[in-house]
A = this chain, B = another copy of it.
């Protein structure tokens, strides 16, 4: 299985996804700023994966701190938290991972700094391990919606590469295949960054899951021909009411599904659900530079000085979503709040 990120000999090793599928190369980060750069420049991307990267980045940064008392140590961590938090605004997983580490530290403030440093490494690795387990659970819940012979459309990459491994949106597909179901995947290429063409197609081909690549414009025509049975996508942040922020174009795909009576599922680890946000309107939406639209692989494809609007994410309102598949079970968007209660119980 592809491992987009791991802790390796005191450093963070990440697959440089910006080079895929042409080149499989790894970047070794020995500094938290390099990890932050990797998140910002999309060497690593995908909500769960950047949550893991955030945790590993903090753990990495912590190792270099030369203070003794807890308070000084915790204070010295603040610029590291800030640098990593400021990389990308839409995915909640960075916040989630950092909050988890903060809580861990605060509840262990009696330990010495060296022990805390080791604790951070362990916790980052635990987040990675749990992520893979979470995805397998999502896969089991989600595979129930996939029938033998189904064709599933997905947008962007919510696959192994977007996570610690196994993927979120791809998990139900992987489980369906393990169950012996014959499936086909349609991968939207997902402009502007082409995660579908570069990443989803690549990882599914590697795992011998049949995949066909289309331009984002083609989804509607295939639905009209009756060639798509269901859609499964990932999410960068899901609000308490079930509104889902995900890669730009997800909203359009959901509307197309509604218009054609095709079920539209969101695979969402609970780490990507932000219960503090009542609805999608409150999710910060990242806008990125024009060059992602005007250039592809360094080649200019649009006129010089053209005005560009490059919104990286959109919000799909809960009403378009058939169900949200989490590791704790499948929920109607309106019932998502119940997970919070489940969490308290656990």
Which stretch in A73-81, A172-180, A216-224 binds the other chain? A216-224
Which stretch in A56-64, A270-278, A292-300 binds the other chain? A292-300
Q: What is the CA–CA distance of A189 and B259 in the complex, to the nearest angstrom?
A: 24
Q: Which A221-251 residues sit within 8 Å CB-CB of chain B?
A: 221-222, 224, 247-249, 251
A297 / chain B contacts, CB cutoff of 8 Å: 296-297, 299-301
Q: Which A159-193 residues sit within 8 Å CB-CB of chain B?
A: 186, 189-192
Which stretch in A34-42, A105-113, A207-215, A325-333 binds the other chain? A207-215
Option from B218, B296, B310 in Cβ contact (under 8 Å) with A309: B218
Which stretch in A8-16, A119-127, A140-148, A197-205 binds the other chain? A197-205
CB–CB B214/A217 < 8 A: no
CB–CB B306/A252 < 8 A: no
Option from B197, B210, B249, B307 in Cβ contact (under 8 Å) with A213: B307
A212 / chain B contacts, CB cutoff of 8 Å: 307-309
Q: How far is the CB of A28 from chain B (nearest CB, A)?
A: 25
CB–CB B252/A303 < 8 A: no
CB–CB B213/A308 < 8 A: yes
CB–CB B215/A310 < 8 A: yes
CB–CB B214/A306 < 8 A: no
Option from B186, B224, B314 in Cβ contact (under 8 Å) with A224: B314
Q: What is the CA–CA distance of A210 and B210 in the complex, to the nearest angstrom?
A: 43
A213 / chain B contacts, CB cutoff of 8 Å: 293-294, 302, 306-309
Residue of A210, A215, A219 most packed against chain B (CB within 10 A): A215
- A268 in the interface, Cβ–Cβ < 8 Å? no
Given contacts A189-B301, A197-B294, 5 further A-B pairs with CB under 8 A are A192-B217, A205-B306, A212-B309, A215-B293, A259-B259
